Chains A and B, each alone.
Chain A
Amino acid sequence: MAPVTMLEAIRQAMFEEMDRDPAVVAMGEDIGVYGGAFKVTEGLLERFGNERVIETPISETAIVGAACGMSYLGLRPIVEMQFIDFIACCFNQVTNFVAKGHYLWGAPAPMVIRGPSGGGVHGGPFHSANPEMYFAHTPGLKIVYPSTPYDAKGLLKSAVRDNNPVLFFEHKFLYRRIKEELPEEEYTVPIGKAVTRREGRDLTILSYAAMMHTSLEAAAELEKEGIAAEVIDLRTLMPLDKEAILASVKKTNKLLIVHEDTRTGGIAGEIASLVCENAFEDLDGPIARVTSLDTPVPYAPTLEEHFLPNAAKVAAAARELAKY
């Protein structure tokens, strides 16, 4: 099999899930004839028809609300946000209606909300966001943010089959930049499990999505200097794989968290707290973090590059931490 992009892997997951189960339907803006703004859903309409590939008005609240209603009859809708930034338009529907139904009145909502997220492509302040933490803070939602084509395909399949609403973030910087050979046979990747991308003994770098690749780049640089960094890819932010995080910290005794989300209220703060509560005595240095600035995502390349983390920033933070 030829290597495929992350975008193609996501497309394959949708095709295979819709082929496997006619209860799976797709809904969103421009996802049919046009094939979606990034062409993730290209070909779906031809194969599955208008009843299963539903083109909607520009109406995020209606899309998510209707998907939730569909899920109550046992359908498993996959909803596309044209850009994940636009999920803010249906914040109430997601956080108050979809997320709380199972806890409050025993109504599971098996649905996926997926869409392109993240910066680094000069999309400007309204097409570059990482809004995962608004939702990680909402009990009842699962948050998935893969970094590789293999994981994207396997996790999207798991998300479709999950009985809970899953928010599936697709980093658009990775859409066509990362390629990987995928198994021919059917597979899934479990939600809620982190994976070790690189073994190391000196410190742990925890990351996800595009920053996972940045972290690996930094780790390669650090290796030349004799620092062996372990790189862990969270893959799922909610539920968080606490065991994997704590196990690595207990092994390396130093923790650096890297995310593209802005600093204050990012997942790094939560993980730092988790480690302090559960592995404080295993730490040999302060928990460090490299994140984006606490600003909107700026447009100009010079500004955006300054805003985002990069391998040099990660390596610099790791060097400081390694001194302890």
Chain B
Amino acid sequence: MSQSSNGAAVTPVTRQQCLDLYYYMRLNRAVEDQMMKLFRQNKIVGGLYSSLGQEAISVGTAYALEKRDWMAPMIRNIGALLVKGVKPRDIFTQHMAKYTSPTQGKDGTSHFGDLKNLHIVSPISMLGDLIPVMAGVAMAGRYLGQDIVTMTWIGDGGSSTGAFHEGLNLAATQRAPFVLILENNQWAYSTPVSRQVPIRDLAERGRGYGITSVTVDGNDAIAVFEASRAAVAQCRAGNGPVLIEAKTMRMKGHAQHDPAEYVPKAMHEYWEARDPIVLFEKYLNANNLWDAKAKQEIEARIAALVKEDLEFAENSPMPPPELAEQGVYCEGCHKIEAEWHRPKSEVTPPKSSVEAAWKVKDFGGIEASASGGNGASARAAAKSAQQSAAAAKAAPAPARRPFGRGPKGKRGGGR
């Protein structure tokens, strides 16, 4: 057992976990590389949104979830879908609008879900809406005694929407077992993060809601996984929600049509040298976690899977036109039944009955007003501000976390 930065004992990441993380990151990239080719062949019906350079986040976060847990991906979370059990063919057919796709061609991209088996909620294009939804899934899971954690993702841009703040605030007031991954990829379409949010670390936004909020290096798969695993454990223990800001870089334009000429060249180069997959390969090499044969096996497995699923997608038909008319309402096609993992008697009378009265912890005032008011509280506040500034001066600065894994032998705790 090693120690995490906060001193708690953490389980080391196993070799198998490392190889899984690598496999899914590579699969994520292979699927997207293949979709680039399809796009150039004009076989993708709509837009194509790349997660190049962000694979460590999608994979490292989702890998911390259990099978019973719920997730709602965003457009750049192909890797999270793959980790949760979605097949590449579903991603290909979705983008190609095929009848065999999860939505049968009714929606594209990663806009699909699976309520029954994989527990995935489909995203919509309006940013932030998934946050209250996944807070609700978390609340319902707790109510039914299912012991689940929910997770969704948002970008630096999406963190300015009302739904982001409303959802996070509700989740916080409910202490919902919900993990929000804030992918700070520096760009919201063409606008840099500095023009969207007047703070450098977007994890600050979570602290405003009184919840645990951390910042990690989003290009470091192990750092992302460890932070996510800790967040999931904290939520499962009843101390959610948790926000994780993962700093990274969107290496392509907003979508394929966008050459992203607005990104300064030096910035692109800076991040290009920090490709999460290359960094992780170096880590696996340096720690003798694999050999050339293991790498080849992973590559062969991925190539075969992508080939097979691509063939399936290419050979699939487009949906029949009249399908457009069907499915607006559920007319008995779904059987809806809650899965109870606790006795219903706990939530039905007489056990559910309570006294309808508020209990308040304190009365919400400022104590200085008791000693006369008339500016007393302002003077007290000024004095305490001076004191905390002095205390901040005295306290040592937190250790800087290096990019990647840093030089061998000098790595932070928990690796």
Check B133 against A97 for contact (C-beta < 8 Å): yes
Check B336 against A62 for contact (C-beta < 8 Å): no
Interfacial chain B residues near A146, Cβ < 8 Å: none
Check A74 against B338 for contact (C-beta < 8 Å): yes
Q: A106-B115, A106-B334 are in contact. List 10 more A-B contacts (CB 8 A).
A: A46-B355, A48-B349, A59-B169, A61-B129, A65-B129, A65-B132, A65-B135, A73-B140, A105-B107, A164-B329
The interface centre, meaning the residue of A47, A66, A100 with most chain B CB atoms within 10 A of its CB, is A66
Q: B347: CB under 8 A from chain A?
A: yes
Chain B 330-365, CB-CB to A under 8 Å as 1, else 0, gives: 111010111100001001110011111110000000
A159 CB to closest chain B CB, in angstroms? 13
Which residue on B lies nearest to A92, using beta carbons?
B126
Which residue on B lies nearest to A56, using beta carbons?
B170
Interfacial chain A residues near B124, Cβ < 8 Å: 96-97, 100
Instruction: Determine the distance from Cα of A107 to Cα of B124 in the docked complex, in whole angstroms.
Output: 13
Instruction: Determine the distance from Cα of A51 to Cα of B144 in the docked complex, in whole angstroms.
Output: 10
The interface centre, meaning the residue of A23, A61, A93 with most chain B CB atoms within 10 A of its CB, is A61
Check A74 against B136 for contact (C-beta < 8 Å): no
- Given A46-B354, A51-B352, A103-B328: A92 and B163 within 8 A (CB)? yes
Chain B 128-166, CB-CB to A under 8 Å as 1, else 0, gives: 011111111111110110100010000000000011001
Q: A110: CB under 8 A from chain B?
A: yes
Interfacial chain A residues near B352, Cβ < 8 Å: 47-49, 51-52
Check A104 against B122 for contact (C-beta < 8 Å): yes
Interfacial chain B residues near A28, Cβ < 8 Å: none
Residues of chain B in range 256-315 having any CB-CB distance to chain A below 8 Å: none
Chain A: interface residue total (CB-CB under 8 A): 55
Check A108 against B334 for contact (C-beta < 8 Å): yes
Which residue on A lies nearest to B138, using beta carbons?
A69
- Given A66-B135, A164-B330: A110 and B336 within 8 A (CB)? yes
A47 contact from B131, B140, B338, B353, Cβ within 8 A: B353
Interfacial chain A residues near B144, Cβ < 8 Å: 73-75
Residues of chain A in range 81-123 having any CB-CB distance to chain B below 8 Å: 92-93, 96-97, 100-108, 110
Q: A25: CB under 8 A from chain B?
A: yes
Which residue on A lies nearest to B324, using beta carbons?
A103
Check A107 against B354 for contact (C-beta < 8 Å): no
Residues of chain A in range 33-85 having any CB-CB distance to chain B below 8 Å: 33, 35, 43, 45-52, 54, 56-57, 59, 61-70, 72-76
